[in-house]
Amino acid sequence: MFSYILLIGGFAERPAVPPPPQNPSAPARRARVAMALSKLSGDEQGLILGKLRNTLEPRLVMYFSSANKELRALLPPAVQQQLRTDYEEATALCVKMGMRDCKELREATRIEWWQRHLTAADLTTLAKLGSVLPAVEVLALYELSGSAGPDGVSRLAEGLVAGALPAVTCLFIDGMHAGDAGAAALAAALDRGALPRLEGLTLANAAVGDAGLAALAPALRRLPALEYLNIFGNPFGDDGLAALVPPPPPAGTPPPPAGGLKKLEELDLEDTLISDAGCATLAAALASGALPALKTLDLRYIRASDEAKAAVYEARAGLEEDSTDDEEEDEDEGEDEDDWGEEEWDEDEWDEGEFGEYEHEGG
């Protein structure tokens, strides 16, 4: 085809502007990729394949592995089937937790699962996903149903590989049985490099005894950024506390190696089996400079006497007792019960108002 322009004296012709180049076809792109990959060693190809392997997004590694026969050999049918099985398990967990799909979990910065009837199998699946959840900063699991069984926390911890949950700063586990075995499994996970940025740990109402805390304590002391530790509601006593906060050495003996927990600001030991002897040990440790950043200590509902607990707070100037729950209870008791009788009860407002989304819970 030709286009024409009018010139003085007549017409002249010139070629039309050529169309823009077409995008290369998919086969052409695939050929170029295959050629580039062929220049890599088998180890380099395998490394790239491993980095792309993601249970929450398996299509990436499948596409990559189809580029040439060498890559296909690195992802044989058995491995593809396992990837498919893992993806189906992850999808089922997401649906059970009320998420739309795996993408929502992959992009989550907070995982807060409350009373979702988590099972040990669910926690095993969650552990497998620990290395592909780079954005999660808060992992909170609250479960009182007993659905996780006696080894659910253990299976979660045992499945966390080195570098798992790399951005998590807060781990909250309440109401699920960990026991001494679960506490030891969590210690092992921390020691192999899981949860490297952990700043706060809650392991509450988890059946952790003296042996469990003794196993966990060294790993906690090696956490450089730990700021709060809530281990309330567990059946450990003086021996477990001494493992966490060792007493000062006798006079005239060499000082122990520099301990950790230098940044710990909050320690919750509420509702444990600590006695007067344990309080005396803790007071001596605080007086000798242990836990230098500690600001808040909760000793409510332990077995020690009021005098023994008071001695602990006197050992560290400025140390505060956590009395938040007591203050809330006092406020509740101070309300005028007659006020409830003077208000009109609007059933429509209850059913359709701000509480409507909870009206069927527990039904």
pLDDT digit string, tens, across residues 200-220: 999 999 999 999 999 999 999
Q: What percent of the chain has pLDDT over 90?
A: 60
- Compute CA distances 261 → 99, 179, 275, whole Å: 37, 23, 23
Element (H, E) at 217: helix 210-221
Percentage of residues of the chain with pLDDT beyond 70:
67
Cα–Cα distance, 255 to 217 (Å, whole number):
19
d(CA 22, CA 134): 38
pLDDT at 351 over 80: no
Q: Which of 72-81, 269-278, 297-306, 311-320 shows the lowest per-residue confidence on average (mean pLDDT)?
A: 72-81
- Residues 279, 249 contacting (CB under 8 angstroms): no
Q: Are strands 2-7 and 110-114 parallel, antiparallel or unpaired?
A: unpaired
Kindly state the tokens that stand for 32.
């170029």
Which two tokens mark 194? 């899981």
